[in-house]
Amino acid sequence: MKKESKIGAVLTAIIEIVWAGLLWLLCSLPVLTLGAASTALYYAVVKCIRHERGNLTKSFFAAFRREFRQSTLLWLILLAAAALFAADSWGFGMMGAKPVFGMIGRMLLLIPLALFPWLFAFISRFSNTIGGTLKYCGYLALRHIGATLLMTAELVAFLVVVWLMPAILPLLPGLFCLLLSLHIEPVFKPLTADSTSTDGDDWFNE
């Protein structure tokens, strides 16, 4: 009986992970909404799959609507920074500059990648201004540099796997979020210790 219940729980989790990935894909299709979709994905995966609270679809779209403006603006900032660093790297190459300058440009591209997990996980849980969110997530990224480097490597691996095996894409976003939460949630735990949710369900303090 216990074995059957465990198998059922695993199958349910897999189905929810795939469904979360499909919701993320659907809401990321315009590209400009990828930030809001990523915020909603992290919130729904951590709350509904990791903590087994609430309805995944409702939680996803509630977070998507609630944090749409800030998530989208910060996503556009990251895109602009990535485009600027990529242009710098390309420009140095076209001018025949020393390879080291092109390498610096490519390394700067890692900054948006390093901030990406912190930003949208933070927005899903906390309220702050755009400038305050950027500053605090920058602080978290530096304060927990080991986790930041590991998550950046995982994000690069995610992009490579998607490039090589696009057919399994629906399975990856939810799994990736669960993996990120192993690094991020221990950092968030002290920050949410005295917090309470609007509905009294303080799942994030468990």
Using one digit for the tens of pLDDT, what is the confidence trace for 44-70?
A: 999 999 988 889 999 999 999 999 999
Q: State the pLDDT at residue 22.
A: 95
Could you tell me which of 152, 148, 149, 153 has the C-alpha nearest to residue 137? 148
Low-confidence stretches of the chain (pLDDT < 50) are 1, 198
Q: How far is residue 159's CA from residue 113's CA, in Å, rounded to a whole number? A: 11
Q: State the pLDDT at residue 60.
A: 97
Q: State the pLDDT at residue 83.
A: 82
Query: Domain spans of the chain?
Result: 2-190
Q: State the pLDDT at residue 201.
A: 60
> Please, what is the angle between helix 56-66 and helix 68-94, to 10°?
70
Q: How far is residue 13's CA from residue 125's CA, in Å, rounded to a whole number? A: 22
> Residue 109: CA atoms inside 13 Å, Cβ hemisphere, count?
16
Q: State the pLDDT at residue 111.
A: 86
pTM: 0.87
Q: State the pLDDT at residue 203.
A: 66
The values of phi and psi at residue 202, to 5°, are -85, 60
SS (H, E, C) 71-119: HHHHHHHHHHHHHHHHHHHHHHHHCCCCHHHHHHHHHHCHHHHHHHHHH
Could you tell me which of 8, 19, 6 has the C-alpha nearest to residue 174? 19
Q: State the pLDDT at residue 6.
A: 74
Q: State the pLDDT at residue 176.
A: 92
Identify whether the C-beta of residue 45 lies closer than 8 Å to the C-beta of residue 175.
no
Identify whether the C-beta of residue 33 lies closer than 8 Å to the C-beta of residue 72.
yes
